Amino acid sequence: MPTDHVREPTGPRERVLDHGATAVAHPNIALIKYWGKRDERLVVPYVDSLSMTLDVFPTTTTVRLDPGAAADSVLLDGASAGGEPRQRVVDFLDLVRELAGRTERAAVDTRNAVPTGAGLASSASGFAALAVAAAAAYGLRLDDTALSRLARRGSASAARSIFGGFALCHAGQGVGAAADRSSYAEPVPVPDFDPALVIALVNAGPKAVSSRAAMRRTVETSPLYQAWAASNKDDLAEMRAALHRGDLDAVGEIAERNALGMHATMLAARPAVRYLSPATVAVLDGVLQLRRDGTPAYATMDAGPNVKVLCHPADADRVAATLLAAAPGSSVLTARRGPGARLRTGDEP
């Protein structure tokens, strides 16, 4: 049965606040991964993907227009951002300004409750929150599909964080404007499936290779990439059926093989991209042990060493304890499905 906290709020996304706009978005974890962009400028993925938005690690972003300013200012977790992180935000604001026909610069203040760049989907929550806040601040009235397409331009996984629960992101068809129009996420309603996702944080530090650089190298050099991309289609079809059945074992098996396959494509890149560390492998061993002992638990990993383990909520404490014992020094946290991105109203803290 769905419980209260799985209800997906449909907040007022179009409300423009007097002093800018503040939006909150949560990260999502893909059960069917996207890896590789067929258009880097427009951020269009090669493959469809399907994810679960989490109820932990939100990003809160405020965008205030600053008509007197000559340049945008970007605060990331309280510190002035520079280099690539700032440039990605400025490029995104340029896109929003172009869509809105506006020229004012903005002050952006973004706070992550998740370590940035550690493969914990901070770019997903970050660009989903920025899309919702910037669209409101610049007076753009976008529906959820348009917001998802906009968030995608920041980071393809962010397209999915516009939605709560489970979301499917279309790789889209055609090239150029046609690809841009047809690549967006949409919700996959699965009201009766509410698994737990135990996150084993084996290393919260930033990754050595950005996902952007890693996926480019994988697409260009890995002989396994095309095979994985083809198998992704079958995985997605099977995943949708498994989700609708509420079949945790099938969902978990498909998610685990899909993630391991994605990492295999990276290991075969030249030179290899390896995000998985000894602690990751120890956690994967813990997951196998859980299954041998009769507890359904299935792993997925993104562009980092941390492991997310899908299980029944009633088993989450046992799973967490096993993962901690497998990788001493790590920390664990249990997530459930969470809400979509939304504007925060003035009376919220």
Q: What residues make contact with ligand PMV under the rule CB under 6 A?
A: 30, 33-35, 49, 123-124, 155-157, 211, 302-303
Cα distance between the two ends of the chain? 30
Question: Coil, helix or strand for 137?
Answer: helix
Q: Which is nearer to ligand PMV, 6 or 169 (CB)?
A: 169
Q: How far is the CB of 158 from ligand PMV (least distance, A)?
A: 7
- Nearest residue (CB) to ligand PMV, 17 versus 268: 268
Considering the complex, what minimum distance in angstroms separates the CB of residue 131 from ligand PMV?
Answer: 13
What lies within 8 Å, CB to CB, of 178 at 6+ separation is: 172
The counts of H helices and E strands in the chain are 10, 16
Residue 236 or 279 with smaller CB distance to ligand PMV: 236
Residue with Cβ nearer ligand PMV (29 or 65): 29
Nearer to ligand PMV, 10 or 87 (CB): 87
CB atoms within 10 A of CB 279: 20
Separation of alpha carbons 44 and 23, rounded Å:
24
Q: What's the closest the beta carbon of residue 30 comes to ligand PMV, in angstroms? A: 3
**Shortest Å distance, C-beta 50 to ligand PMV:** 9
- Whether residue 205 contacts residue 242, with contact meaning beta carbons closer than 8 Å, is answered with no
- Which contacts (CB < 8 Å, 24+ apart) does range 316-321 have? 316/196, 316/198, 318/290, 319/196, 319/198, 319/290, 319/295, 320/198
CB 72 within 8 A of CB 93: yes
The nearest distance, CB 103 to ligand PMV, in angstroms, is: 28
